[in-house]
C-alpha cells in the first residue's frame, strides 16, 4: 500500500532554493523503493515574489498550503536595506503568519554537537539538548503601535501577549518531550524578575504541569543567566522551554555553539494536527552568498529529518541523521559546494 504525503515546498529567497534542493534529493533517496511517496507542490513565496508581484501570502495560496501534510521551508528575506522592501515585512507577513495561523506552537530546535564538528567553545562538553520555543504568542504577537510617529514625541509600543491557553499547551508539550528522553530534565527560561506578569503566568503553568510529571527534574533560569550556562556548561541542558523571543535568541546562540548555524535544524510543530507543521533551517536567506553554492545544506537536510519523524517515519529520519553524522565526522574544514555536501550525505545514505 502506498502512502502519499502531500508536501508543500517553499524554497524562498537567497540560499533557500539551494539548500532545499539538497534536502529534496536526500528525501527522495531515503524514501526510494519504499511505500511512501512525496507529492510535492512548490510555492514561490518570499521577497523575490513580493518584488515581482507585490504579494506576500495570498489567501488562496495559504489555503492551498493548508491542504498539505507538511511544509518544507527554505529561508526568506531580500537584501538588507533594499529600499523596495521598506514597506514589505516578509517575515511577519509570511513566515510568522504561517507559524501563527497554522498554530505552530511548539518550535523544536535541537542542538547537538556531532562528533568531528568543532564548536566555538573551548571545552563544550556534552552538547545535546532540545529547545522547545513557543511559536504563537509572547512578544511576537504583533500587538504594538506608534503614536506621533516620526516626531520627537514618538512613542512606540510592543505588547507581549501571553495566555494560559498558549503557555500551557507548549509547556505540556515540553514536559511530554522531556519525559520521552533519558535525562528527564526540563529547564524553563524567562525573565520573571522583570517581566513579572508574563513571568507569573509561565511560572504558574510550569508548576501546575510539573505536578503531573513528578519524575521530571525542573529547573528555572533567567534568560540572561541561560546564555552564560549555554557557553560555559551546555551539558546542563536537556529540554528547554521558553517564550517566542527568548527562544529566538537562545536558539541562534545554541546553533553557534553546536557547530554553527549551518547545522541548526527546526520544526514548527502543530501537535494537534489541525494544520500542517513546517520544517526549516534556523539560518536566514543570506543573500550575500546566494546562488554561489556556498551555503551548507545540512540544516535543511536535518530539518527534513525532523519532518520525517513528525510524519511517523522515524526509521527514515534516523537514516538521514546517521548519514549526516557520518559525513560530519569526516568532513574536515575544507569548503565544499552546497551540492557536494548533498552528494556526500547521499553517498553515506547509500552505504547504510
Ligand X SMILES: CC(C)[C@H](C(=O)O)[C@@H](O)C(=O)O
Binding residues for Mg(2+): 224, 248, 252
Q: Is 260 or 271 the residue whose CB approaches its own copies more closely?
A: 260
Q: What angle do CA 254, 127, 300 make, to 5 degrees?
A: 55
Contact criterion met (CB below 8 Å) for 65 and 239: no
Q: Is 18 or 348 the residue whose CB approaches ligand X more closely?
A: 18
Q: Which residues have CB under 8 Å from 6's CB, separation 6+?
A: 39, 41, 67, 68, 69, 70
Q: Establish if 228 lies at the interface with ligand X (CB under 6 A).
A: no
* 140 is annotated as an active-site residue: yes
Q: CA-CA distance, 102 to 76, in Å (whole number)? A: 18
Q: Establish if 235 lies at the interface with its own copies (CB under 8 A).
A: no
Q: What is the arrangement of strands in the sheet containing 277-281, beginning at the earlier edge strand?
A: 36-42, 3-12, 70-75, 277-281, 265-269, 106-112, 128-134, 239-242, 185-190, 217-222
Q: CA-CA distance, 98 to 136, in Å (whole number)? A: 10
CB of 282 to ligand X, least distance (A): 6
Tell which one of 31, 66, 121, 179 touches its own copies (CB under 8 A). 121
CB of 107 to ligand X, least distance (A): 8
CB of 18 to its own copies, least distance (A): 20
Binding mask 202-221 for its own copies (x = CB under 8 A): --x---------------x-
Q: What angle do CA 26, 29, 33 make, to 5 degrees?
A: 155
Per CB under 6 A, the segment of 6-14, 53-61, 89-97, 158-166 that binds ligand X is 89-97
Tell which one of 18, 103, 248, 348 touches ligand X (CB under 6 A). 248
Contact criterion met (CB below 8 Å) for 283 and 262: yes
Q: Is 250 or 344 the residue whose CB approaches ligand X more closely?
A: 250
CB of 150 to its own copies, least distance (A): 7
Residue with cell string 534536502? 23
Tell which one of 33, 54, 80, 335 touches its own copies (CB under 8 A). 80
Q: Which residues have CB under 8 Å from 302's CB, separation 6+?
A: 263, 265, 281, 320, 321, 324
* 224 is annotated as an active-site residue: yes
Q: CA-CA distance, 7 to 37, in Å (whole number)? A: 10
CB of 213 to ligand X, least distance (A): 28
Cell of 287: 543573500
Active-site annotation holder among 238, 243, 248, 327: 248
Residue with cell string 515574489? 49
Contact criterion met (CB below 8 Å) for 13 and 286: no
Q: Establish if 311 lies at the interface with ligand X (CB under 6 A).
A: no
Q: Is 95 or 286 the residue whose CB approaches ligand X more closely?
A: 95
Q: Establish if 256 lies at the interface with its own copies (CB under 8 A).
A: yes
Q: Establish if 194 lies at the interface with ligand X (CB under 6 A).
A: yes
- Active-site residue list: 140, 191, 224, 248, 252
Q: Which positions lie near its own copies, rule CB under 8 A?
A: 77, 80, 89, 91-92, 96, 118-123, 139-140, 142, 144-146, 148-165, 168, 191, 193-198, 200-201, 204, 220, 223-225, 227-228, 231-232, 245, 248-249, 251-253, 255-257, 260-261
Amino acid at each position: 500500500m502506498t502512502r502519499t504525503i502531500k508536501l508543500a515546498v517553499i524554497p524562498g529567497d537567497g540560499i533557500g532554493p539551494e539548500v532545499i534542493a539538497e534536502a529534496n534529493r536526500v528525501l527522495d533517496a531515503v524514501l526510494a523503493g519504499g511505500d511512501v511517496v512525496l507529492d510535492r507542490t512548490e510555492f514561490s513565496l518570499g521577497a523575490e515574489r513580493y518584488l515581482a508581484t507585490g504579494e506576500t501570502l495570498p489567501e488562496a495560496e495559504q489555503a492551498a498550503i493548508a491542504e498539505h501534510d507538511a511544509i518544507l521551508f527554505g529561508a526568506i528575506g531580500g537584501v538588507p536595506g533594499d529600499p523596495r522592501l521598506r514597506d514589505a515585512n516578509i517575515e511577519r507577513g509570511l513566515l510568522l503568519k504561517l507559524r501563527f495561523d497554522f498554530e505552530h506552537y511548539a518550535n523544536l530546535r535541537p542542538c547537538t554537537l556531532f562528533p568531528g564538528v568543532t564548536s566555538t567553545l573551548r571545552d563544550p562538553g556534552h552538547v545535546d539538548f532540545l529547545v522547545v520555543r513557543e511559536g504563537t504568542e509572547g512578544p511576537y504577537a504583533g500587538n504594538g503601535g506608534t503614536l506621533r510617529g516620526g516626531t520627537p514625541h514618538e512613542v512606540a509600543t510592543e505588547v507581549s501577549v501571553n495566555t494560559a491557553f498558549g503557555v500551557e499547551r507548549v509547556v505540556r508539550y515540553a514536559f511530554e518531550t522531556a519525559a520521552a528522553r533519558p535525562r528527564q530534565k526540563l529547564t524553563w527560561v524567562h525573565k520573571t524578575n522583570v517581566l513579572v506578569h508574563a513571568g507569573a503566568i509561565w511560572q504558574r503553568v510550569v508548576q501546575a504541569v510539573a505536578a503531573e510529571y513528578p519524575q521530571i527534574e525542573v529547573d528555572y533560569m533567567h534568560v540572561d543567566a541561560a546564555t552564560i550556562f549555554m557557553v560555559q556548561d551546555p551539558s546542563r541542558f536537556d529540554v528547554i522551554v521558553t517564550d517566542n523571543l527568548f527562544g529566538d535568541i537562545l536558539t541562534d546562540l545554541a546553533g553557534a555553539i553546536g557547530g554553527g548555524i549551518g547545522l541548526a535544524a527546526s520544526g514548527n510543530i502543530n501537535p494537534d494536527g489541525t494544520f500542517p507543521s513546517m520544517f526549516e533551517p534556523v539560518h536566514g536567506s543570506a543573500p550575500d552568498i546566494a546562488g554561489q553554492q556556498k551555503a551548507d545544506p545540512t540544516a535543511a537536510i536535518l530539518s527534513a529529518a525532523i519532518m520525517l519523524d513528525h510524519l511517523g517515519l522515524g526509521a527514515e529520519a534516523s537514516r538521514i541523521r546517521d548519514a549526516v553524522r557520518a559525513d560530519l565526522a569526516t568532513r574536515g574544514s575544507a569548503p565544499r559546494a552546497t551540492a557536494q555536501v548533498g552528494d556526500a550525505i547521499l553517498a553515506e545514505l547509500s552505504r547504510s
